Amino acid sequence: MGIKFDGDFTVTSSPADTYAFLADPERFAPCLPTFKSIEVKGPKTALVKIGIGVGKIRGSAGITLELDDSGAPDCAAYDGKGSIMGGAFNFATSFKLEATGAGTVVHWEGDLSMFGKLVALAGGLIRPIAKKDINRLIAALEAELSPDLAEGAAG
Amino acid sequence: MSWVGKSPRRKEDNRLVRGRGLFTDDDQTPGMLHMYVLRSPYAHANILSIDVSAAEAYPGVVCTLTGKEVAEQCDPYMQLAPGKAAGILDYSIAVDRARHQGEPVAAVFAETPAIAMDAGELIEVDYEMLDPVLSGEQGLEDKEIVHEAAGTNLVWQDVYEYGDVDKAFDEAAHIVKIDRLHFHRFSSTPLEGNACVAEWTRQGTIEFFCNNSFAGFAQQLLSPALRVGSEQIRIRTHDIGGSFGNKIWNYIYMTIAALGSRKAGGRKVKWSEIRNENLLASGHGNERTFLDTEVALDQDGVMTALRSRHIDDCGAYPRYEPLGCVIWSQVIPACYQLRNIRIDFSQAVTNKCPAVPNRGYSRMQHLWFMERVIDICGHELGIPADEIRLRNYIRDFPYETPNGCVYDSGNYPAMLEMAQELIGWDAWKAKQAEARDEGRLLGIGIGTTLDSGTNNFGQAQIINPHLPFSGNSEVCNIQLDLDGAVVVSLGTGPSGQGHETATSQVVADELGIEPDMVHVRTGFDGSWNAFVGHSGTYASQFAVTGLTAVHGACQKLKAQMRRLAAVLLEASEDELEFGVGDEGPELRVKGTDRAVNYWYLSNIVNSNNAVLSDDLGDVTLNVRNVYRPPFEVPDTERKFGNLTLTYASQLHIAVIEVDRQTGHAKILDYAAVDDCGKAINPQIVAGQVHGATGHGIGAAIMETFQYDEIGNLLTSTFSDYVPITALNMPDVKYGHIETPSPFSFNGAKGMGEGGGAPLHTVSAAMQDALFGEGIIIQDSHHSPPAVFEVMREGNREQVVTVENR
Amino acid sequence: MSTTEAIEPVDVAIGVNGERYKRAIEPRMLLVQFLREELKLTGTHIGCDTTYCGACTVLLNGKPVKSCTVLAVQADQAQVMTVEGLEQDGELHPLQAAFSEHHGLQCGYCTPGMLMSSFALLTANPKPKQKEIRNAIAGNLCRCTGYHNIFIAIDAAAKDMRGS
C-alpha cells in the first residue's frame, strides 16, 4: 500500500532557523506522532521509536531515519524505514524552504509505503490513520517553528 | 460380479469420519522441534544483513537457519527452463535478495511452535527496497530484473505454429480481433496447509513424513539440492488434506526442515503452515494474459484460424512452471476443429508468489481463452452460443489435433444436449427474454472443456531438449502377506481421491474377491519399493496410469498363484478358478471342492518352503508392476506429438443474473455434464465433478490473489480471499455420459481436474448478460466491484473489432 | 512479541467426550491446541487463522464453537465434545455413516468440523430444511466436495435419526 502526501505551511522562523531545525534529527524526530525515544547513530542517522496502532492492533516500531542534506540550505529530506509485526514500512519526505517576509513557506512532500501483515489485517483503515498522523506531524512542526504563535493551530 | 462401475463405501472413510486419520500435523512425537519461517514483508528487496543473535539466545530455541547457510550447504534446485533462465538460483531460503512477499528469509527451530514464533520476531533483517515487477508484461520489459543471475525476466518464449495461418486469414469471411484477455490468479487452497516432519538421522538418512503430493518428483529435486543420494531419502505420506496440485512444490519446506534437523543434531523437526503463509507464499495458480488475438471465421461462423500472444506470469521462481509453457498445448484447439494456429507464448518471472500447478493446470487457462474466443465471436457475429459451438465441435474420434495430440473419444454435442435438457434451456431462454424486457441482466452461458490426463513428460523436451524426462509411469506392488492377506502398495500418494477404494475394486474384480478383502496401504512410502520418478497424484492420471499398473500387477500375481496352485492341487492351470470359499479367498479346481486358500499359498512360499519344487523358485507372491503408457518423445522442433493419453470432457451451463446497481453476479441455475469414459466408481466421479465445480465457481466469482501497486498481497487471509462456502454454492444438476477411451484397458479416462469448466461457463453467462450493455468479458474473475467498473465504462469498442468481408 | 519472563501456568479442568481432564496450561493456549497437543485428540483440525474455515469446530457445552478462537482457559469447568466423541462403542453415529454413504467427504480434513456443526444442527433441529442445513455449515469450508454431497448426507442422517 502506497500513500503520497504533499502540502505547504508557513512558519515565522527564518529559512536558516527552519533548516537547522528540520535537518537535526534530534529536534525533528520528537515531532513525529507517538514519538517515544531517539538514539543518534551518526551525524545523519538516528534510530527512532514510535508507537503504532490501528484499532486494537498495537505495537511499537523502530524507524531508521536517514537525513539527506544534499539540498542544503533550501531543502531538508529524510528517508526512513522500519518494521512492525512482521510487516514493514518505508517513507521519504522532503521539505523545500522558501523565504517569505519574516518567515518561511515550507513545501513538503511525503511518500509512505507499507508492507505485510498490517496491510493485510488493517487494510483500508491505514490510509485515514496515516493521513491523520501526517497532519499531526505538520502541526507539530508548525508549532515548533512558529514559537510566537499559539500551539496546535493546525491539525 | 463386477465391482468396477459400482460405488462401494470408501475404505478411507472409516478412519476419516472417526477423526482417526493421520495428517502430517497429527504426528506428535515427543521431543520433536518446531520450525518457524520468518518471511519477507517486501515484494522485492536486497537483504543487507540478518542478525539472529537475539533469536538464538531466546530460551527454548535450539538453532536458526539463514539463506547464507542454505547456500553453503545446498545446491540450488534444478531449473527446468533452458537458456538464461537456467541460471536462476533457487534456494529454499532467500540468500541476498527477497523476491516476493512471504519468501522465507530465515528459520527458527525451537522446543514449541510458540517459542519458535516468538523468537522469529527477534530476528533483525536489514532490507533495501527495490522496485517490484508485478505483471508478466512488465516482466518482459526487463527494466527491473528479478534474478540478476539470469539477467532477464524471460523464462521461455517460442511460437507454436500449425497449418497455414496467413492463408486462412486471407480467405476469412470474418475476422474478430480481441485486444486483451486475462486469466486471474487463484488457487484451490487445500484446507490442510503444507506440512512436514523431517529427521536427518545420525546415520545420514533423511526421513520425511509430509503431505507432498508428487513424491517421485520431490525426491529427484531434494536429493541433489541436499547433496545426498536418492536412497538416503525416504518420503512417507499418510492422509493428505487436499492438494489440487498445490502440494507438489512443498519440497522447499522439506529442505529447510531437514537442514534444521541436521543442525539440531538429528532431532525431528515439524513444520505446519498457517493459512496466512499458505496464501502469501505457498503457490498460486498461474496467471496468463492473452494479447492481440485474431480469429478467422468462415461465413458460417466456423473458426478457421487463430493467432495470438500469450504471457504467463509465473511469480518469483519458475520451479515447475516452465512446463506450463507447453502443457496448455495438450488442448491447443480446445474442443474445436480449428487447424490453423499461431500462438506466441512467453513466460516471465515477477515479484509475486511463485506459481504452482493448480487443478486444471495450464490447460484450464488456455481452455478459458478458447471459450472466450468462441463466445465473443458468437456474440459479435450474432450466432447463438449453442449454435456456434455445434458448428465448431470436433465430432470424429480418435481425433489428431494440429500439434499431433490424439483426442481419444468424446461426444460434445450429446453433452450439450444433455446439459440443455438438465437446465431447461428453452424455458430459460423464454425467461431471459422477459427479464430483458424488464431491463434485468440475465445471461445463459455454455462452457465446453477438456481434462487431459496421463501426460507424456516428453513434452518437457519441447521446452528444454536437455531435460531427462519423457513418457510416464506408475507402480503397483501386490503381494500375499504372511497370513495370505492381499496387500497392495501404490506410488500415487493420494489426497482425497479414494485410491484405496478404487484400487480395491479393480483388485477384487481381478481376483474374484471382495474389496473388503483387499488391503491397500495408505499414502506413499519410499521404503515400499513402489515408486518411480513419475509417482504422484496429479494431472488426472490415476484411473489410467495408476489402475493399469494395478491391473497388470494382478495379472502377474495371478500367474504365480496359478502355477503354484496347479502343483499343489495336482491340476492343470486351465482347470483353476479364482473365488471366495469357506476359508476365504482361494483358487479351486472348477466344479470341485478341491481348493487352496491364500494363507496356504503364502505359507508354502514364505514359511513352509522346503516342500517347494525348484521350478517354482521364482514364485514370490510379491509382485512389482510398472505401467508405462505408449508414448514417444515429441518432435521438439515442430512441437508435435502425442502429449496426453486421455481426454475427459465437461460441458457446463450457467444462468446468471447481474445486479445493475452493484455488479453482483448471482447464479440462478447450473448444470454440469461429465464424460470421463468408463467410471470406475461413479460416486467418486460425481464427487470430483461437484468439487471441481465448487472450485471453479469460487474462483470465477469470489477468489482472487490481488496485489497492490507495491506487491502487497491484499487477500492473504481466508477472510479476504473468501473461499466459496455452503451459502454461495449453487445446486448443481449433474449428468454423465460415457465414451470409453480406446487407449486404456478399462475404457476409463483420468479425471478430477474438471478443466476449469465453471470459469469458462460463468464468463460466458456474464458475457450473455452484459453484451447488450456494450461489454466484453475480458477477465476470468467477476467480483462485483470489477463488474460494476466495467459496466460503468463499457469496453466493447476498445476491446473488440470485427472485419466482415 | 511476548516477553521472555516465565508465564504462570493456569490450572484447568475440562470435560472432553465424557472424561474430565486436569492440566496446568499456558494461559494463551487455544482450546484446539489443548485438544490436539495435551489430549492427543487429533481429529479436530486447524485449517485457517481467521476463524473462517471451521475445521476446528467442537461443541462447548453443547454449542458449536471454533476451537481456534477459544482459549483453553475459557473452557475451564465446561464440557467439550469432539469428533472422537461421536461414535458409541465403535458404532458410527448416523451422521458419520451418512457422510460415508453419500460421499460427503473426500480428503476428510474438514469432516470432523462439518460433523460437529451438523451434530449441533440436528440436536437443535431434527428436521432441518435445505436452507437451514446450508446455514448450519456456512462457517465450515470444504474444498473437495462442492458441498453437494454434504447437504445430502446431513439430510439423510436427519431422516435416519428420526427413524423415517
Q: Please answer yes or no on whether B10 and C109 come within 8 Å at the CB atom.
A: no
The residue type at B179: D
Judge whether residue A126 has pLDDT over 80.
no
Q: Which residue of B has its CA nearest to C88?
A: B18
Tell me what pLDDT residue A57 has: 64
Chain A hits for B47, Cβ within 8 Å: none
Instruction: For B380-411, write each residue's pLDDT tens digit.
Output: 999 999 999 999 999 999 999 999 999 999 99
Instruction: For C109-130, write each residue's pLDDT tens digit.
Output: 999 999 999 999 999 999 999 9
Alpha helices in B489-608 (DSSP H): 499-511, 547-569, 598-606
Tell me what pLDDT residue A154 has: 43
**Average pLDDT of the residues of chain B:** 97
Which SS3 state, helix, strand or coil, does residue B595 take?
strand
* Mutation for B interface: A115, A117, A119, most B CBs within 10 A: A115
Q: Please answer yes or no on whether B39 and A81 come within 8 Å at the CB atom.
A: no
Residue C22 sits at the chain B interface (C-beta within 8 Å)? no
Query: Do C80 and C99 belong together in one domain?
Result: no
B523-541 mean pLDDT: 96
How far is B279 from chain A, CA to nearest CA, in Å?
11
CATH classification of the domain holding C44: 3.10.20.30
Interface contacts (B, C; CB < 8 Å): 185
Query: Do B220 and B126 belong together in one domain?
Result: yes
CA B469 to chain centre: 18
C148-155 mean pLDDT: 98
> Residue B257 belongs to what H/E stretch?
helix B251-263
Q: Is residue C143 part of a domain?
A: yes
What CA–CA distance (Å, rounded) separates B537 from B191? 17
C-alpha cell at C27: 494461559
Q: Is residue C54 part of a domain?
A: yes
What CA–CA distance (Å, rounded) separates A51 from A61? 6
What CA–CA distance (Å, rounded) separates B282 from A121? 19
Instruction: For B192-240, write each residue's pLDDT tens digit.
Output: 999 999 999 999 999 999 999 999 999 999 999 999 999 999 999 999 9
Before C126, cis peptide (omega within 30)?
no
Cβ atoms of B450 and B399 closer than 8 Å: no
What CA–CA distance (Å, rounded) separates B493 from C107? 12
What residues contact B141, with CB distance under 8 A and at least 6 apart?
A: none
Identify the band that residue A51 occupies on the pLDDT scale cut at 50, 70 and 90: confident
Chain B hits for A119, Cβ within 8 Å: 708, 712, 714
Q: Is residue B464 part of a domain?
A: no
Chain B hits for C135, Cβ within 8 Å: 726-727
Q: Is residue C5 part of a domain?
A: no
Query: Do B296 and B247 belong together in one domain?
Result: no
Instruction: Provide the CB-side half-sphere exposure for C10 (13 A, CA).
Output: 16
How far is A14 from chain B, CA to nearest CA, in Å?
36
B17-43 mean pLDDT: 97
Residues 111-150 of A with CB under 8 A from B: 113-117, 119-121, 123
Q: Please answer yes or no on whether A2 and B127 come within 8 Å at the CB atom.
A: no
Backbone angles phi, psi at C55, to 5 degrees: -60, -20
Query: Do B787 and B644 belong together in one domain?
Result: yes
Q: Please answer yes or no on whether B13 and C147 come within 8 Å at the CB atom.
A: no
CATH classification of the domain holding C135: 1.10.150.120
> Residue B787 belongs to what H/E stretch?
helix B784-793
Residues 48-77 of A with CB under 8 A from B: none
Burial C115-149 (b: 16+ CB within 10 A, else e): bbbbbbbbeeeeebeeeebbebbebbbbbbbbbbb
Q: Which residue of B has its CA nearest to C136?
A: B726
Q: Please answer yes or no on whether B727 and C138 come within 8 Å at the CB atom.
A: yes
Chain A hits for B43, Cβ within 8 Å: 115
* Mutation for B interface: C26, C29, C41, C48, most B CBs within 10 A: C48
Query: Do B702 and B607 belong together in one domain?
Result: no
Higher-pLDDT residue of B23 and C49 is: B23
Q: Name the domain count of chain C.
A: 2
What CA–CA distance (Å, rounded) separates B569 from B562? 10
Query: Do C80 and C14 belong together in one domain?
Result: yes
Closest Cβ–Cβ partner in B58, B188, B496 for C108: B496
Tell me what pLDDT residue B538 has: 94
Judge whether residue A43 has pLDDT over 90.
no
Judge whether residue A2 has pLDDT over 80.
yes
How far is B144 from chain C, CA to nearest CA, in Å?
35
Alpha helices in chain A (DSSP H): 15-22, 25-28, 117-122, 126-145
CATH classification of the domain holding B243: 3.90.1170.50
Strand order in the sheet with A35-40: A2-11, A103-115, A87-100, A75-84, A57-68, A45-54, A35-40
Residues of chain B contacting A, Cβ within 8 Å:
39, 41-43, 101, 121, 125, 127, 129, 276, 708-714, 716-717, 720
Q: Is residue B468 part of a domain?
A: no
C-alpha cell at B136: 508478466
Q: Is residue C72 part of a domain?
A: yes
* Mutation for B interface: C32, C103, C155, most B CBs within 10 A: C103
Tell me what pLDDT residue C164 has: 60
Write down the ipTM of this complex: 0.97
Of the residues B225, B248, B281, which one is the last residue of a structural domain? Answer: B281
Name the E strands within A24-150: 35-40, 45-54, 57-68, 75-84, 87-100, 103-115
Instruction: For B314-351, write each residue's pLDDT tens digit.
Output: 999 999 999 999 999 999 999 999 999 999 999 999 99
Query: Do C72 and C131 belong together in one domain?
Result: no
> Residue B45 belongs to what H/E stretch?
strand B45-51
Query: Do B159 and B218 belong together in one domain?
Result: no
Judge whether residue A155 has pLDDT over 50.
no
Instruction: For C5-29, write each residue's pLDDT tens digit.
Output: 568 999 999 999 999 999 999 999 9
Q: Which residue of C has its CA nearest to B493?
A: C107
Chains touching C (at least 3 CB pairs under 8 A) are: B
Domain A2-145 grouped into CATH 3.30.530.20: yes
Chain B hits for A83, Cβ within 8 Å: 41, 125
Instruction: For B181-199, write each residue's pLDDT tens digit.
Output: 999 999 999 999 999 999 9
Of the residues C63, C85, C107, which one is the last residue of a structural domain? Answer: C85
Backbone angles phi, psi at B697, to 5 degrees: -65, -40
Looking at the DSSP assignment, which residues form a beta bridge with residue B45? B98, B129
Query: Do B326 and B409 belong together in one domain?
Result: yes
Chain C hits for B732, Cβ within 8 Å: 146, 148
Domain residues for the domain of B564 are 474-627
What residues contact B310, with CB distance under 8 A and at least 6 apart?
A: B288, B289, B290, B291, B343, B344, B345, B346, B366, B369
Instruction: For B142-185, write each residue's pLDDT tens digit.
Output: 999 999 999 999 999 999 999 999 999 999 999 999 999 999 99
Chain B hits for A81, Cβ within 8 Å: 127, 129
Q: Is residue C118 part of a domain?
A: yes
What CA–CA distance (Å, rounded) separates B149 from B132? 17
Q: Please answer yes or no on whether B19 and C43 come within 8 Å at the CB atom.
A: yes
Q: Please answer yes or no on whether A113 and B713 come within 8 Å at the CB atom.
A: no
Identify the CA nearest to B250 among candidates B277, B223, B212, B222.
B212
Query: Do B97 and B210 belong together in one domain?
Result: yes
Q: Please answer yes or no on whether B16 and C45 come within 8 Å at the CB atom.
A: no
B680: region left, alpha or beta (phi > 0 left; psi from -120 to 50 alpha):
alpha
Chain A hits for B129, Cβ within 8 Å: 81, 90, 113
Q: Please answer yes or no on whether A120 and B708 come within 8 Å at the CB atom.
A: no
In percent, the amount of chain B with pLDDT more than 90 equals 99
Judge whether residue A87 has pLDDT over 90.
no
Chain C hits for B59, Cβ within 8 Å: 4
Q: Is residue C106 part of a domain?
A: yes
Of the residues B563, B596, B627, which one is the last residue of a structural domain? Answer: B627
Chain C hits for B239, Cβ within 8 Å: 107-109
Of the residues B281, B309, B340, which one is the last residue of a structural domain? Answer: B281
Residues 102-141 of C with CB under 8 A from B: 103, 105-112, 115, 133-135, 137-141
Closest Cβ–Cβ partner in B39, B129, B716 for A90: B129
Q: Is residue C4 part of a domain?
A: no
Cβ atoms of B581 and B617 closer than 8 Å: no
Q: Is residue B441 part of a domain?
A: yes
Q: Is residue B237 part of a domain?
A: yes
Query: Do C127 and C71 belong together in one domain?
Result: no
> Residue B769 belongs to what H/E stretch?
helix B757-770
Query: Do C71 and C18 belong together in one domain?
Result: yes
The residue type at B150: A
Instruction: For B421-469, write each residue's pLDDT tens digit.
Output: 999 999 999 999 999 999 999 999 999 999 999 999 999 999 999 999 9
Q: Name the domain count of chain B.
A: 3
Chain B hits for A121, Cβ within 8 Å: 717
Domain residues for the domain of C60 are 10-85
Closest Cβ–Cβ partner in A115, A121, A123 for B41: A115
Q: Please answer yes or no on whether C109 and B23 come within 8 Å at the CB atom.
A: yes
* Mutation for A interface: B712, B713, B722, most A CBs within 10 A: B712
Closest Cβ–Cβ partner in B58, B275, B498 for C48: B275
Cβ atoms of B190 and B179 closer than 8 Å: no
Instruction: For C62-120, write each residue's pLDDT tens digit.
Output: 999 999 999 999 999 999 999 999 999 999 999 999 999 999 999 999 999 999 999 99
CATH classification of the domain holding B774: 3.30.365.10
Residue C68 sits at the chain B interface (C-beta within 8 Å)? no
Tell me what pLDDT residue A54 has: 67
Q: Is residue B619 part of a domain?
A: yes
What CA–CA distance (Å, rounded) separates B802 from B293? 12
What CA–CA distance (Å, rounded) separates B28 from B197? 10
What CA–CA distance (Å, rounded) separates B356 from B804? 41
* Mutation for B interface: A79, A119, A125, most B CBs within 10 A: A119
